[in-house]
Amino acid sequence: MSSRHVAVLAFPFGSHAGPLLSLVRNLAKAGPDVKFSFLSTARSNGIIFSKADDGDGSFRNIKPYDVNDGLPQGYVPSRNPVEPVELFLKETPENFTRALEMVEAETGLKVGCLISDAFFWFAGDMADKMNVPWISLWTAAPRSLLLHVETDAIRQALKTNRSGDQTLDFLPGFSVIRKVDLPEGVIVSENSESPFEKLLHKMGHKLPQATAVAINSFQQIDPETLHLLKARFKKFLNVGPFTLTCPSPSRPDNHGCLEWLNKHQPSTVVYISFGTVITPPPHEIEAFAEALEASGFPFLWSFRGSVENFFSKGFMDRTCGTIGKLVPWAPQVQVLNHSSVGAFVTHCGWNSILESIGGGVPMICRPFFGDQKLNMRMVEAVWKIGVQVEGGVFTKSGTIDALQRILLGEGKEMRERLGVMKKLAYEAVSSGGTSTNDFNTLVGIVNQIKM
């Protein structure tokens, strides 16, 4: 029996493979007779496939395959979080090439289309060789994508100016974006690029060749960047926000977060979460806890680390059960969508920002690395839906100030602006909306592939 066959190459770190699988599930639902082979490391597949099965049958035509993660036997993680990424990249693209041969042999089906994380520029070469379409997914914001596409031009323009205040006013819409807001790797010199920076640079060169570049975003969120990217790519498809178009199945609210939120007044609660990768340094957590206690705002804190090591017993005794709630995990999309939440303290990862917009909650930003500073700048200076914590790190007084600005001051106007953005997001994903139409274009590409 012959069938259309799509191979998917996932980047197995951070919040990359999960969103890619979400998109593939929607494609699999739209094309129940298409076979999808999903290639990632055993660890990544183990996590995302166990989380994602909500029994709606969308997995019938998606099958995970494990590729070599490149870690030496008995590898013990070092303090350098980039190390496993670099070890993995050393194996690519050979591990994917071999895995594809294996998958074709096992299924008896030639691969007719490649879908990859945008990081994997080499998927473009693989697709060329196989003479099949290449669809690439960028899981972060349109702005950061543009920076990688424009890296050479930016390096050239900024070469002569060492001032961190210099703005990127040579790019339309970028006059408030400063040199200091740029992700690492954009303004290094070519011969001092790390393997990961090389990957991003190369990606910027290759993506214009893709049959389509898809993004977890919606057109109306950043129209100026949209136009620039549309001019660069053959097809630029905004198929998000994924929280609305392909929400991951909800996990039970085991810690009673939503019930606790029900007991509070509208827009009064501070929700704190730094995602699944980052834990701020202990002195910042301590300063933040002091600020919470001193300002007296109710808070819900989703904290990944060991609570005993980071919080004093006194703080726990005085706040938890009364004004505060500390949990190891919270259903973030639903929490941000709850009317009681009035401020979101975040590291400014792209998924978190989309979730905050979806819930209409102003942000207090403490970015750490990668595109987080750029996202923060967009929140603060372009969309005006949040503030950066003073000096970029948590101090007691800076945090109190930020909390008061959002919960008692400017937060109200920010919520109005967020209301408009939220409405645009919901319109984009509705029937006939731009994200729905862009998704249908993607389905069209998959439907046209050769058997």
Ligand X SMILES: *[C@@H]1O[C@H](CO)[C@@H](O)[C@H](O)[C@H]1NC(C)=O
**Segment contacting ligand X (CB under 6 A): 111-119, 161-169, 202-210, 258-266?**
161-169
340 within 8 A of 265, measured Cβ to Cβ: yes
- Residue 107 binding ligand X, by CB under 6 A: no
Please state, in angstroms and rounded to a whole number, the distance separating the CA atoms of residues 28 and 5: 11
Helix axes 122-130, 94-107, angle to 10 degrees: 40
Report the residue from 91, 125, 193, 390 that binds ligand X according to the rule CB under 6 A.
91
- Least distance to ligand X, CB of residue 58, Å: 18
- Residue 99 binding ligand X, by CB under 6 A: yes
Under DSSP, the state recorded for 275 is: T
- Residue 337 binding ligand X, by CB under 6 A: yes
Please state, in angstroms and rounded to a whole number, the distance separating the CA atoms of residues 283 and 297: 21
- Residue 166 binding ligand X, by CB under 6 A: yes
Please state, in angstroms and rounded to a whole number, the distance separating the CA atoms of residues 212 and 137: 9
Q: What is the three-class DSSP state of 384?
A: coil
**Which residue blocks in 159-236 are alpha helix, DSSP H?**
195-206, 223-232
**Segment contacting ligand X (CB under 6 A): 88-96, 206-214, 258-266, 408-416?**
88-96
Size of the site for ligand X (CB under 6 A): 17
**Which residue blocks in 31-150 are alpha helix, DSSP H?**
42-52, 83-91, 94-107, 122-130, 142-149
The answer to whether residue 16 is catalytic is yes
The first and second tokens of residue 245, run together, are 């178009």
- Least distance to ligand X, CB of residue 253, Å: 12
**Segment contacting ligand X (CB under 6 A): 182-190, 330-338, 415-423, 428-436?**
330-338
**Segment contacting ligand X (CB under 6 A): 2-10, 21-29, 332-340, 380-388?**
332-340
- Least distance to ligand X, CB of residue 432, Å: 19
The answer to whether residue 264 is catalytic is no
- Residue 358 binding ligand X, by CB under 6 A: yes
Q: What are phi and psi of 109, to 5 degrees?
A: -120, 125
**Which residue blocks in 296-410 are alpha helix, DSSP H?**
307-310, 313-319, 332-336, 350-359, 372-377, 396-408
- Least distance to ligand X, CB of residue 295, Å: 27
Catalytic residue from among 5, 117, 201, 347: 117
Chain residues binding ligand X by CB under 6 A are: 67-68, 91, 94-95, 98-99, 161, 163, 165-167, 243, 333-334, 337, 358
